[in-house]
Chains A and B, each alone.
Chain A
Amino acid sequence: MKNRRLFPALVLILVATIMAVTGFMLWESGNTANLRQIHVIIENSNDNRWVQFIEGMKQAAEDQEVILTIVPTGHMETLSEEEAIIERAIANGSDGLIIQLCSSIDAASMLEKLNSRTNIELVDENAYEVMSNVVGVVSPDHKAIGETIANEAALFAEKPLEKCTIGVIRGSSALSSMEQRMDGFTEALESLGGKTTWVLEQNGDAKDIKEKLAANETPDILVALDNAGLEAAGEYASSQEKDITVIGTGTSTKSIYYLDCGIVQSLVVPEDYMMGYQSVSDLADYIHRNRFLPLVRTIAHRTIHKDTLFAEENQEILFPVQR
């Protein structure tokens, strides 16, 4: 009797296991066949400053087997403009978004709203006091960058800081990252005895910043707190007869060129390659696991002078081979 029951039980168990394994394999193959898609929304996507960042993202996309789509964008004035682009990306079947905010104001509510619909990774913005529980963040330490720039200014100043006129070109005040850089710079500068003479806010319009620079006193030290500002500062300094010490942060070839030419004395370079690589890796990981555990990551930055520009350890980061 026992034997009579044993055989059907054994067959039943085997059939159940076969069905379970087949089901799992079908589910798995369905998952593999549909490669996940990540959309990247960054301001001025074709800008040379993103070269390292995009290379990092491409490598991570290859490693994580996801499709990377960099949405072509220009200058985004308002958050609603950016939101419209995000909505299009979601409508196109995006499994995850990598976003660089054009404004931090009201960004938290927008991100919270979007987060229920897709996974979001925020880059170049570390306003994680309000967002870290909603989205993943990969960003440089903006305050530390500001402090480094101030220290570099002190290092390259040809006279004591307190006697120097210091001009600052900063990015949009709507961005909390820029506020942090400014705070870091101002605090460090003051601690070193310096004081900003004037501060210009550039909004992406090259002509406008040129006019603003011309309208101000020619400084001894010109500080740029973002890449666009540094390019403007380099151009301005190269056109001036007076020797201006230019310090700033940037990643574009133009910024590097100004350092190579000796127009810029010190360049603080965030490791954008790592920012790109890490953001895609984290987001792909979230998507593949089907659960979102927001991580806040801070990437490092390097200080590069003319003599270390072509050092072996900096070449790969500053001049990534574009594929």
Chain B
Amino acid sequence: MEFDRENPEKVNSGSSKWIGQTIEKAGRRGIQFTVLVSFTVVSVFIMVLLGFSLYQRFTLRTRAMMTESMEQLMSQTEANFEDYLTSMRRVSDAMYYDTIKDKDMALDSLDSEMSLLYEANKDNLISFALFKRDGSLVCAAPVSTMKEGMDVRLQPWFKMAMERPENLHFSTPHVQNIFNASSFRYYWVISLSRIVELTYSGVPVRGVLLVDMNYNTIEEMMDRVNGSNSYQYFYLCDSNGELIYHPRMIQIGVEKYKENNLAASDYEDGLHEEIFEGERRMVVVKTISYTGWKLVGVIPMSGFRLGTVSTQFFTFLVLLVTILALLLINRLVTNRITSPILRLNRSIQNMDGGRVDPDKVYIGGPAEVENLGRSMQGSLRQVNELMDDVVREQEERRRTELDALQSQINPHFLYNTLDSIVWMIEDERNADAVFMVTQLASLFRVSLSKGRTVISIRDEFVHALNYMNIQKVRYKDAFEVSWDIQEEILDYCTVKLILQPILENAIYYGVDALGDEGEIVVSGRKEGDDILMSVRDNGLGMPQEKVDQILSDEEHEERTHRHGSGVGLINVHKRIMLRFGPRYGLSIESEPDEGTEVTIRIPAVPYTEKNRKALEHGKWTGEVQNEK
């Protein structure tokens, strides 16, 4: 992400947006996922933190232990070296103070004493030799001859002894080269040289006593120490940094390996850290007394760490197994925690979509979830009761409205019919009057239908026929009515009194103005799972705008106040829709001067007591019950 200098807030807002989106995204995931991820992230973080701190402690502890063990080993080696070198010095002292000082070289021979001392120490010694100041050999053990042309004064050990007569001098390792090699053998030695005072006929003369120590002894001591650990190693150098022993001495000689011996010679005794050839390492130094030699122990830092490939892989494996175990355990724990919540969630998942049975709400799990379930169950019960109340109230209201509407029709129609009957009686048309009274009685019988709202189509058509018969008498057969009804539809359910208002409209607004040419066709048929009943007239018809207005709610409100002109149609339409759903109701087709056809569409529900009751109580599910 680049930082916008001009508008730093832009970056901040970008970051916070991203964080917000991430949180929101996480929030949208399931509770199980969120808990699992949170647990795992926290566990892994703690584990890594713990692992890191343990690793640090482990490294420090290992470092302390290795250093401690190295120091112990070095102290022991130093003690061994000091013992050995002290014994060599004592040999030299014994030779000098007990033998050389007591002898007059002009008169006595040192051979036997020197040989005796050599024999006693020959495991650690290669040779003894006593030289005069001019480099000539006084005596040597074992008895040897000097090389032809050998000038020992040029040898470093001789020079050192002459330069600093007060000390004993230990040389660096070298191949002994002053005597003729017996049996083609050459020995690596460390020369211990010192100035001695020789007496020749009572006259003191300076000389040099040489003790050639067997280098193998030192090498064996160092090899023993070096054999114990593959990481660390030890070497020995003199006070100038010249190597006396190194496990890779020859490789250093041919420059195939490097050692920091020159720097080590300047180190004080103790623990040091250094970087050599790009590698950090711990160096422990101990100075061997008198000689000034430094015993140096080296531990590369990689030895403290998880250095080897196998250890690194093992650590990686432990990490993977731990993550896997954490993941599985967390999953188990998460399931235990979230399972009751999820079950509760599933049990109320369809609450928005409709009624939920309160008994199906999950009650269980921890106390909190159980309480939640019980509360939810209680709430649902209350909601269901409230919903039932609302439905009941609506049904009641609808029924009241219907009754009111029905009562709107009856008085007007009854008045006209009775008027016609009176007129017939006055004209002594008794038979016609009887017919009218019979039709009216039948009409009211169906209208009442024991207070039922749903009746059979058969009864509905009987009602329509009664009505039309009465109207025809009233209108003096001014129009023709024909009936085209399929027999099979008669035993299906319908909402009662839906044809009569349409027929009334067909008479008043359709054929009334046509004189004797009016014609009304009533038909009924089954179409798929629906039943269609239509009333077609050849009256005045109406434009499409008028048709569209008839079944609209706004127009209904207006007409209700005005009364008449299609009030009956909208009422029928709404009653059908209320009972059967929005798919059903009226449709009107009309052409001005051509006529109008009003079609009723209702579902084909067989007229059985069960279906009728279901429809009456508004519990019709939309599925047709074919049982008759």
In the complex, what residues of A have CB within 8 A of residue B186's CB?
Answer: 253, 256-257, 319
Which of B32, B219, B327 is in CB contact (< 8 Å) with A14? B327
In the complex, what residues of B have CB within 8 A of residue A277's CB?
Answer: 251, 256
Q: Name, among B177, B184, B223, B310, the residue most crowded by chain A CB atoms within 10 Å (CB to CB).
A: B184
**Taking the nearest CB of chain A, how far is it from the CB of B84, in angstroms?**
17
In chain A between 11 and 63, which residues have their CB closer than 8 angstroms to a CB of chain B? 11, 14-15, 17-18, 21-22, 24-25, 28-29, 32, 48, 55-56, 59
Does A3 contact B29, Cβ atoms closer than 8 Å?
A: yes
For residue B331, CB closer than 8 A to chain A, the reply is: yes
Q: Which of B294-302, B317-325, B364-372, B582-590 contacts A (4 or more CB under 8 A)?
A: B317-325
Does B250 contact A25, Cβ atoms closer than 8 Å?
A: no
* A256 and B184 alpha carbons, distance in the complex (Å): 8
**Taking the nearest CB of chain A, how far is it from the CB of B151, in angstroms?**
12
Which of A25, A274, A319 is in CB contact (< 8 Å) with B313? A25
Which of A10, A48, A315 is in CB contact (< 8 Å) with B175? A315
Which of A15, A55, A309 is in CB contact (< 8 Å) with B250? A55
**Taking the nearest CB of chain A, how far is it from the CB of B333, in angstroms?**
14
**Taking the nearest CB of chain B, how far is it from the CB of A65, in angstroms?**
9
Which of A17, A261, A321 is in CB contact (< 8 Å) with B180? A261
Does B253 contact A317, Cβ atoms closer than 8 Å?
A: yes
In the complex, what residues of B have CB within 8 A of residue A15's CB?
Answer: 324
For residue B174, CB closer than 8 A to chain A, the reply is: yes
For residue A204, CB closer than 8 A to chain B, the reply is: no
Say whether, besides A59-B251, A315-B175, A24 and B313 are in contact (CB < 8 Å): yes
For residue B404, CB closer than 8 A to chain A, the reply is: no
For residue A254, CB closer than 8 A to chain B, the reply is: yes
Interface string of B163-194 (1 = CB under 8 A from A): 00000000000110100110011101000000
In chain B between 122 and 178, which residues have their CB closer than 8 angstroms to a CB of chain A? 147-148, 174-175, 177
* A209 and B147 alpha carbons, distance in the complex (Å): 29
Does B321 contact A257, Cβ atoms closer than 8 Å?
A: no
For residue B280, CB closer than 8 A to chain A, the reply is: no
In the complex, what residues of B have CB within 8 A of residue A319's CB?
Answer: 175, 186, 188
In chain B between 333 and 362, which residues have their CB closer than 8 angstroms to a CB of chain A? none
For residue B567, CB closer than 8 A to chain A, the reply is: no
* A3 and B331 alpha carbons, distance in the complex (Å): 12
For residue B314, CB closer than 8 A to chain A, the reply is: yes
Which of B32, B177, B250 is in CB contact (< 8 Å) with A320? B250
* A261 and B328 alpha carbons, distance in the complex (Å): 82
Say whether, besides A18-B317, A310-B174, A310-B177, A32 and B147 are in contact (CB < 8 Å): no
**Taking the nearest CB of chain B, how far is it from the CB of A179, in angstroms?**
29
In the complex, what residues of A have CB within 8 A of residue B181's CB?
Answer: 253, 257, 260
Say whether, besides A22-B317, A28-B313, A323-B223, A271 and B254 are in contact (CB < 8 Å): yes
For residue B399, CB closer than 8 A to chain A, the reply is: no
Does B185 contact A321, Cβ atoms closer than 8 Å?
A: no
* A144 and B559 alpha carbons, distance in the complex (Å): 130
In the complex, what residues of A have CB within 8 A of residue B313's CB?
Answer: 21, 24-25, 28
For residue B316, CB closer than 8 A to chain A, the reply is: yes
For residue B309, CB closer than 8 A to chain A, the reply is: yes
In the complex, what residues of A have CB within 8 A of residue B323's CB?
Answer: 14
For residue B378, CB closer than 8 A to chain A, the reply is: no
In the complex, what residues of B have CB within 8 A of residue A316's CB?
Answer: 249-250, 253-254
For residue B14, CB closer than 8 A to chain A, the reply is: no
Does B174 contact A315, Cβ atoms closer than 8 Å?
A: yes
For residue B33, CB closer than 8 A to chain A, the reply is: yes
For residue A106, CB closer than 8 A to chain B, the reply is: no
Does B147 contact A321, Cβ atoms closer than 8 Å?
A: no
In chain A between 297 and 323, which residues have their CB closer than 8 angstroms to a CB of chain B? 309-310, 312-313, 315-321, 323
Does B219 contact A321, Cβ atoms closer than 8 Å?
A: yes
**Least CB separation from A6: chain B residue:** B33
* A86 and B32 alpha carbons, distance in the complex (Å): 69
**Taking the nearest CB of chain B, how far is it from the CB of A208, in angstroms?**
22
Does B175 contact A25, Cβ atoms closer than 8 Å?
A: no
Does B251 contact A321, Cβ atoms closer than 8 Å?
A: no
**Taking the nearest CB of chain B, how far is it from the CB of A264, in angstroms?**
13
Which of A17, A24, A55, A320 is in CB contact (< 8 Å) with B320? A17
Interface string of B277-318 (1 = CB under 8 A from A): 000000000000000000000000000000001100110110
For residue B20, CB closer than 8 A to chain A, the reply is: no
In the complex, what residues of A have CB within 8 A of residue B618's CB?
Answer: none
**Least CB separation from B177: chain A residue:** A310
Does B253 contact A313, Cβ atoms closer than 8 Å?
A: yes
In the complex, what residues of A have CB within 8 A of residue B324's CB?
Answer: 11, 14-15, 18
Does A21 contact B251, Cβ atoms closer than 8 Å?
A: no
Does A273 contact B317, Cβ atoms closer than 8 Å?
A: no
In the complex, what residues of A have CB within 8 A of residue B147's CB?
Answer: 260
For residue B607, CB closer than 8 A to chain A, the reply is: no
**Least CB separation from A257: chain B residue:** B184
* A32 and B32 alpha carbons, distance in the complex (Å): 46
* A28 and B316 alpha carbons, distance in the complex (Å): 15
Which of A7, A59, A313 is in CB contact (< 8 Å) with B248? A59
**Taking the nearest CB of chain A, how far is it from the CB of B435, in angstroms?**
74
For residue B234, CB closer than 8 A to chain A, the reply is: no
**Taking the nearest CB of chain A, how far is it from the CB of B242, in angstroms?**
9
Q: Name, among A11, A260, A274, A312, the residue most crowded by chain B CB atoms within 10 Å (CB to CB).
A: A260
**Taking the nearest CB of chain B, how far is it from the CB of A52, in angstroms?**
9
Does B314 contact A25, Cβ atoms closer than 8 Å?
A: yes
**Least CB separation from B34: chain A residue:** A3
In the complex, what residues of A have CB within 8 A of residue B253's CB?
Answer: 313, 315-317
* A15 and B323 alpha carbons, distance in the complex (Å): 10
* A14 and B331 alpha carbons, distance in the complex (Å): 15
* A271 and B251 alpha carbons, distance in the complex (Å): 12
In the complex, what residues of B have CB within 8 A of residue A11's CB?
Answer: 324, 327-328
**Least CB separation from B219: chain A residue:** A321
Does B310 contact A28, Cβ atoms closer than 8 Å?
A: yes
In the complex, what residues of B have CB within 8 A of residue A7's CB?
Answer: 36, 327, 331
**Taking the nearest CB of chain B, how far is it from the CB of A199, in angstroms?**
27
**Taking the nearest CB of chain A, how far is it from the CB of B124, in angstroms?**
16
Does A310 contact B30, Cβ atoms closer than 8 Å?
A: no
Does A321 contact B188, Cβ atoms closer than 8 Å?
A: yes
For residue B235, CB closer than 8 A to chain A, the reply is: no
**Taking the nearest CB of chain B, how far is it from the CB of A56, in angstroms?**
8
For residue B580, CB closer than 8 A to chain A, the reply is: no
In the complex, what residues of B have CB within 8 A of residue A257's CB?
Answer: 181, 184, 186
**Taking the nearest CB of chain A, how far is it from the CB of B237, in angstroms?**
14
In chain B between 491 and 519, which residues have their CB closer than 8 angstroms to a CB of chain A? none
* A11 and B329 alpha carbons, distance in the complex (Å): 12
Interface string of B230-259 (1 = CB under 8 A from A): 000000000000000000111101101000
**Taking the nearest CB of chain A, how far is it from the CB of B441, in angstroms?**
69
In chain A between 104 and 135, which residues have their CB closer than 8 angstroms to a CB of chain B? none
Does B250 contact A273, Cβ atoms closer than 8 Å?
A: yes
In the complex, what residues of B have CB within 8 A of residue A3's CB?
Answer: 29-30, 32-33
**Least CB separation from B245: chain A residue:** A321
Which of B180, B316, B327 is in CB contact (< 8 Å) with A10? B327
Which of A6, A18, A262, A321 is in CB contact (< 8 Å) with B321? A18
Interface string of A242-278 (1 = CB under 8 A from B): 0000000000011011001110000000010110010
Seen from chain B, the residues whose Cβ lies within 8 Å of a Cβ on chain A are 29-30, 32-33, 36, 147-148, 174-175, 177, 180-181, 184-186, 188, 215-216, 219, 223, 248-251, 253-254, 256, 309-310, 313-314, 316-317, 320-321, 323-324, 327-328, 331
- The 10 A-B residue pairs whose C-beta atoms are closest, nearest first, are A316-B253, A3-B33, A14-B324, A310-B177, A257-B184, A253-B184, A254-B184, A21-B317, A319-B175, A316-B250
> Could you write out 20 A-B pairs with CB less than 8 Å apart?
A7-B331, A11-B324, A14-B324, A14-B327, A21-B316, A21-B317, A25-B314, A59-B248, A59-B250, A253-B185, A261-B180, A273-B254, A309-B177, A315-B253, A316-B253, A316-B254, A317-B254, A321-B219, A321-B249, A323-B219
Known: A25-B317, A260-B181, A310-B177; 18 extra A-B contacts, CB below 8 A, are A3-B29, A3-B30, A21-B316, A28-B310, A28-B313, A29-B310, A59-B250, A254-B184, A257-B181, A260-B177, A261-B180, A274-B256, A309-B177, A310-B175, A315-B253, A316-B253, A321-B188, A321-B249
